[in-house]
Amino acid sequence: MASRSRPPADPASRRASAIARHLRPRPTPTPLPWSPLEPLPCLQYSPPESSAKAAAFDVAEMRRLMDGHDVEARDWAYGVIAESPLFWSPTRGPGGRPFLVPDYNQSMEQQREMILRRIVYLVGRGVFNGWLTGVGKEAEMRRFALLESIGLFDHSINVKIGVHFFLWGLSIRFLGTKRHHEKWLKDSEDYLVKGCFAMTELGHGSNVRGIETVATYDSTTGEFIINTPCESAQKYWIGGAAKHAMHTVIFAQLYMEGKNQGVHAFVAQIRNTDGNVCANIRIADCGHKIGLNGVDNGRIWFDNLRVPRENLLNSVSDVLLDGRYRFAAFLAPLTIGRVNILTNAVYTSKVALAIAIRYSLTRRAFSITNDGPEVLLLDYPSHQRRLLPLVAKTCAMSFAANHMKRMYVQRTPELNKAIHVYSSAFKATFTWHNMRTLQECREACGGQGIKTENRVGMQGDYDVQSTFEGDNHVLMQQVSKSLLAEYIAALKRNKPLRAFGLEHMNNPCPSIPDNLSSSAVRGSQFQMDVFYLRERDLLSRLAKEVSKYQGRGESKEYAAILSYQVAEELGKAFAERVTLQTILEAEMTALDGQLKDILGLLRCMYALISIEEDSSFLRYGYLSPSNAATVRKEVENLLSELRPQALAIVDSFGIPPAFLSPLAFDWIATNSWSSVQQ
């Protein structure tokens, strides 16, 4: 073995030896047996339009059908918002125009001030003209359209506007009389008076009859004295109360000569014109929330607050100067809040789906072959399964929401109960759908879904929809109780059912054959029959279950509480049946054959995915296992049929590019180094 020379002993010699080794020329490297790797070409963004098939239907006409009304007013509102730098994001979109993105990265205080400035701007542009003083169905439908358009930008501004105009303003209009209208309506419409709505308390939300705030009448001064008798009676989550509202409608138990006359509404000033809180009132901020931080929610306590007798909103009851009490009838609940929530949930779902679908038509992942191109996300069946059923559901819910709005503007005392039932069912169903859609779109966009500017993962802003204006579970049980009451009354009278669309129960019970073909399960006859069958069976089951508990000695009220599972299943069945009817009606009345075809595909997907996702169809035997397998197979077939038209469908949502997000367009350029420098 060859001997190795020893390293020099002293430090100086060792350093000299090391330097010499570095200076020796290196030997020529042996050639590699393979060629060096070639760098892969950089990814290039291609807009979804470059690869998508041409629309097989008239996109503009489809939008008119789904928006349902006031398309021109919506476009005008979009333009008003896009013109103002108050709404602009630093990020630029198509044509160099800025995206319109809320202030998610700003402090709570900054968000609140920006929301106020934007509302003042919209007032100046005339957006709210006629919102409180206008009359007629056309004015009401236009108001719905404008609020939906504003809501596409930000839920905080939508909620703050809704509290002021719909809760405060329409309380004055509907619960008040001429003296209240003359004093507050026009100034509220012009935003000179900023109002809020003090109903919810720390201890009571959905149960309005149980609120603890007390109003007593002092006949010697002609005033009501309003008090917060305990901490659980403090008014809570009152939008606008923490900072900007000057007036409020207070809901309190009215006591006359020691007798409780029930909940009444009173107008009170809570801040002076200089912004200071009025005497005998305490206000605290609800603080930072998981979302909606542009809304200044507050808490209010009343300490012997004296309110003039004239400030009682007296359209249905009044107190005369000498203290005599007159009562006519209490109006139906202000259901317009729920109508606004359910329509906003549909449009929010549209925004998220439009962004996620556009991204999935430009983002690629993995190759099927070693040297093949990466595959578009939406070409994966699993990705289609995640998004396309939600698209179909959202389209169907658009028609149901329009049905709800038309019902509301045509309201009569006889329709009040139906409006309450339909709006409760839709509010619960559509807001749950919205939360699921936001989460699925967030996940479908991967890590990009986490960025707030991409607008697909903002569940915190919308989570409140599930509980405000009524907890969704409570609303579903109210729906079922109303259906049950109608059913039992019809049985007792031995007369046909005539309410809530239950007339189908007057007909023979549908029979579903065990082995249906694919074409049969796609047919509207089967779909309506199986939805009818589910609803009538669940209603019968609920009646039997409540009766069973009553037979064991439970009260009717507690028996209904114990039957909550069937009650919620029935509420869902009711909402889905009505929704299916509305999209089927749109399909049947469409004059254009191509529109009828795409509506048929969407209706079919809505019906079949609803069947597949609801275990009650198998649990209670509405479908045989064979039919359930056929339904599942047809859902997969429908995915491949809807895939080529996915872009056209979300384009028909009519959302301007600026209201989407960078993720819906050139996301590579948006994230480039040059964009950072700009």
CB of 484 within 8 A of CB of 542? yes
Q: Which residues contact 105 (CB under 8 A, 6 or more apart)?
A: 452
Active-site choice (189, 201, 212, 469): 469
β-pair partners for 266: 250, 312
Q: Which residue has the tokens 């915190």?
A: 460
Q: Which residues contact 617 (CB under 8 A, 6 or more apart)?
A: 530, 534, 611, 623, 628
Q: Pick from 92, 91, 71, 53: which is nearest to 653 by CA?
A: 71
Q: Take residue 588 and report the two structure tokens written for it.
A: 């049947």
DSSP code of residue 93: -
Known active-site residue 469 = yes
Q: Take residue 321 and report the two structure tokens written for it.
A: 């100067």
DSSP SS3 for 288: coil
DSSP SS3 for 527: helix
- Alpha-carbon distance 650 to 437, whole Å? 14
DSSP code of residue 167: I
| Amino acid (one-letter) located at 141 | M
Q: Pick from 230, 226, 200, 229: which is nearest to 215 by CA?
A: 226
Full DSSP string of 25-55? PPPPPPPPSSPPPPPPPPP----GGGTSPPP
| Amino acid (one-letter) located at 259 | K
Q: In what helix (H) or strand (E) does residue 612 lie, and over which residues does it extend?
A: helix 593-613
Query: Strand 247-256 relative to strand 195-198: parallel, antiparallel, unpaired?
Result: parallel
Does the annotation list 200 as a binding residue?
yes
317 φ, ψ (degrees, to nearest 5): -155, 155
HEC assignment per residue over 537-588: HHHHHHHHHHHHHHHCCCCHHHHHHHCHHHHHHHHHHHHHHHHHHHHHHHHH
Q: Pick from 397, 454, 153: which is nearest to 294 by CA?
A: 153
CB of 94 within 8 A of CB of 655? no
Does the annotation list 239 as a binding residue?
yes
Annotated binding site: 200, 239
Annotated binding site for FAD: 200, 239
Catalytic residues: 469
